[in-house]
Amino acid sequence: MTDHAHGGAHEIPDPERETQTRTVEELGGTECLRLISEGGVGRIAYTGRFGPVVLPVNYKLHDGAIVFRTAPGSPMDEDLRTGISEAEYLVAFEIDEIDMAAREGWSVLIQGSAHHVDSEAERASLAQAGVEPWPGGERELFLRIVPSRITGRRIRRADRSASG
């Protein structure tokens, strides 16, 4: 065997030892909303016509709802239309921030109903919120997720304080 196998200069990190110094903290709804309040990139998950779908989108938190834009007629637009007036399509939306080097981070999961924003008044309000899609092309369809459940957790070193 080489020195590497015996813990020489290039010691392989022991994942068992690393996890012993980490704690998992369940986050309350207020803390979850604080963490995601500035917007950014999250992932929407839903069951599409070809099976489970998870897609990244840039979002804003506006009046307690997750708001993002997509292209009219896109696969997401079609998958999230039920064809029934006032029907709701249940989705999950996940946002996280991970520090790979420190092996710390947080994750927030929003579960709720996705709605196409069709009224001009609501579209104007959401346009004011400033949600701007990153991809090029026409992305004039606003979608809103109204949370029915918000959960989150934070993983950090055990020796760090509970704030921040």
Structural domains in the chain, sorted by start? 24-157 (2.30.110.10)
Mean per-residue pLDDT for 6-15? 52
Distance of CA 113 to the CA centre of its chain: 15
Alpha-carbon dihedral angle through residues 18, 21, 26, 31, given to the nearest 10 degrees: -100
Q: What average pLDDT does the chain have?
A: 81
Question: CB 94: neighbour CB atoms within 10 A?
Answer: 16
How high is the pLDDT of residue 47?
Answer: 92
Q: What is the pLDDT of residues 21-34, one digit of tens each?
A: 889 999 999 999 99
Question: CB 147: neighbour CB atoms within 10 A?
Answer: 18
Mean per-residue pLDDT for 58-87? 83
**Of residues 59 and 2, more confidently modeled:** 59
In this predicted structure, the answer to whether residue 116 has a pLDDT above a threshold of 90 is no
pTM: 0.77
Mean per-residue pLDDT for 86-97? 88
- Residue 149 makes CB contacts below 8 A (sequence gap 6+) with 109, 110, 111, 112
Contact 22, 148 (CB under 8 A): no
